[in-house]
Amino acid sequence: MLEKLVVWGDSLLKGVIFEAGRYQIFKDNCMAQCADYLGVKIQNRARFGCTSSKGKEILGKDLRQEQNISAAIIEFGGNDCDYRWEEVAANPNADHQPNTPLEQFEQNIQQMISALKEREIPVIMMSLPPIHSQRYFKWITSGLNRESIAQYLGDDLEYIYRHQERYSLALGRLAYENNCTFIELRDAFLVRNYSELLCADGIHPNKRGQALMRDVFVDFAQKHALATI
């Protein structure tokens, strides 16, 4: 019986949304709703702005303290793939690297999976919701030199989407290689007009997006007996 599910991730599963001009935690977020729908205790250790490097540290500390974990969700990538846009705007010709280069990101996720499997804790992973490139570009360039950032992107705003998608695809590969349960969340957004499911920043799911995430998780759990993992 899935009695205690622990979530390690970033603002996506923390339930952070941008509303009324500020970021805030939506208390009735997808994880909170999943706990109610599935009758499962969910301990949410996700943090706003967290990268896989920081998440790996948090997971390591938690595993030394937490007991009786039935299963774990690992969810990172959105902050890892992001750039330091102020630095990009200041010098678009430099060789900028994302917060966590893809190779390091894969290593971090693998180490988290291995740490959980060593304790025989089943691991659940998921793909990332898509970014709305134009909306996100407008968001990150607010107050910065928009032309410089566009230059760095090669005047190809969809690079933002493709770059983030590579991190999502890496999560799928790692889940397959490690025989982890994998929830295809991204596709649920792509078959819809997903711009209506994202906040003004183009990356955080809004309340409707959180509801869709809940539906995906609950449907997966019911079809695959996740509640009895």
Summarised one tens digit per residue, pLDDT across range 131-158 is 999 999 999 999 999 999 999 999 999 9
pLDDT at 97 over 70: yes
Angle, nearest 10°, between helix axes 158-177 and 102-118? Answer: 30
The predicted pLDDT at position 162 comes to 98
Could you give the residue ranges of the DSSP H alpha helices within the chain? 11-14, 30-38, 52-63, 85-90, 102-118, 133-140, 146-152, 158-177, 186-190, 207-223
Q: What are phi and psi of 72, to 5 degrees?
A: -135, 145
Domains in the chain and their CATH numbers?
4-228 (3.40.50.1110)
pLDDT at 229 over 60: no
* 3 in Cβ contact with 68 (< 8 Å): yes
pLDDT at 93 over 80: yes
pTM score of the predicted model: 0.95
Residue 148's nearest CA partner among 137, 132, 136, 134 is: 137
* 183 in Cβ contact with 216 (< 8 Å): yes
Rounded to whole angstroms, how far apart are CA atoms 150 and 49?
24
The predicted pLDDT at position 175 comes to 98
pLDDT at 227 over 70: no
Confidence of residue 203 (pLDDT cuts 50, 70, 90): very high
Q: Which residue has the tokens 């490139």?
A: 133
